[in-house]
């Protein structure tokens, strides 16, 4: 059994979902959230420090989440569909592991034929207004993605694991996977580029890279 784990934001799709949720509230909110997101993805501040803060600022509604969910599809990485088809044909099991939000990512996952998402579930009141998030979800903190991968290992017993992502939170998983592939089409982060086992600018570079596994 071969397992390949993909980050979502700036990997399977061009957007950062949290930034797009912020954009709805105007440019000032967007600029503030984008700066916090970049600081976390570059490893300048811990994810733990900003996770609740960003959501408290944005107060995302259910309707906004649906709009951003469609945006993930509209801005899909151009080779994502064909790449995932090739990987499945090669016997790879595909999972999305993201610090984004489950309900927002679900439309893209369905579009890509990925059944399993490990992300952060949001909570909403009956009127669709923001009611918080699952604070126990591992991606809300640094070290969350390695924790999820360890859980996947215990559950699925894969013979080989590959992780693909653009951020520091993805790079953290390098110690618990067999191969870490950094992705730089949308955000080429120097630390990820220098420390990754491989670094690609297009997802369609990946199948041939791991085809011998």
Angle at alpha carbon of residue 97, lines to 179 and 99, rounded to 5°: 120
Cα angle vertex 118, ends 165, 172, to 5°?
Answer: 40
Residues 203 and 39: their CA atoms lie apart, in Å, by 25
The catalytically annotated residue of 7, 19, 166, 170 is 7
Q: For the chain, give the secondary structure using H, E and C.
A: CEEEEECCECCCECCCHHHHHHHCCCHHHHHHHHHHHHHHHCCCCCHHHHHHHHHHHHCCCHHHHHHHHHHHHHCECCCHHHHHHHHHHCCEEEEEEEEEEHHHHHHHHHHHCCCCEEEECEEECCCCCEEEECCCCHHHCCCHHHHHHHHHHHHHCCCEEEEEECCHHHHHHHHHCCEEEEECCCCCCHHHHHHCCEEECCHHHHHHHHCCC
Count, residues in the chain? 213
Name the active-site residue from 9, 19, 166, 170: 9
Task: Decide if 7 is catalytic.
Answer: yes
Active site residues: 7, 9
């Amino acid at each position: 059994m071969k397992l390949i784990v993909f980050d979502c934001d700036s990997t399977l799709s061009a957007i950062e979902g949290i930034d797009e949720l912020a954009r709805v509230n105007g440019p000032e909110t967007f600029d503030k959230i984008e700066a916090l997101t970049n600081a976390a993805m570059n490893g300048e501040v811990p994810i733990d420090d900003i996770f609740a803060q960003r959501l408290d600022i944005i107060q995302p509604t259910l309707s906004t989440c649906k709009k951003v969910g469609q945006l993930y599809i509209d801005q899909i990485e151009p080779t994502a569909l064909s790449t995932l088809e090739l990987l499945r044909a090669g016997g790879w099991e595909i999972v999305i592991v993201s610090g984004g939000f489950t309900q927002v990512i679900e439309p893209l996952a369905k579009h890509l034929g990925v059944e399993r998402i490990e992300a952060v579930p949001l909570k909403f009141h009956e009127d669709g207004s923001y009611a918080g998030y699952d604070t126990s979800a591992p991606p809300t903190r640094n070290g969350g993605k390695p924790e999820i991968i360890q859980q996947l290992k215990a559950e699925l017993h894969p013979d080989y694991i590959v992780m693909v992502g653009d951020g520091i939170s993805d790079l953290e998983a390098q110690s618990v996977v067999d191969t870490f592939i950094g992705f730089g089409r949308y955000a080429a982060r120097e630390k990820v580029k220098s420390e990754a086992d491989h670094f690609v600018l297009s997802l369609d570079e990946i199948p041939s890279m791991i085809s011998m596994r």
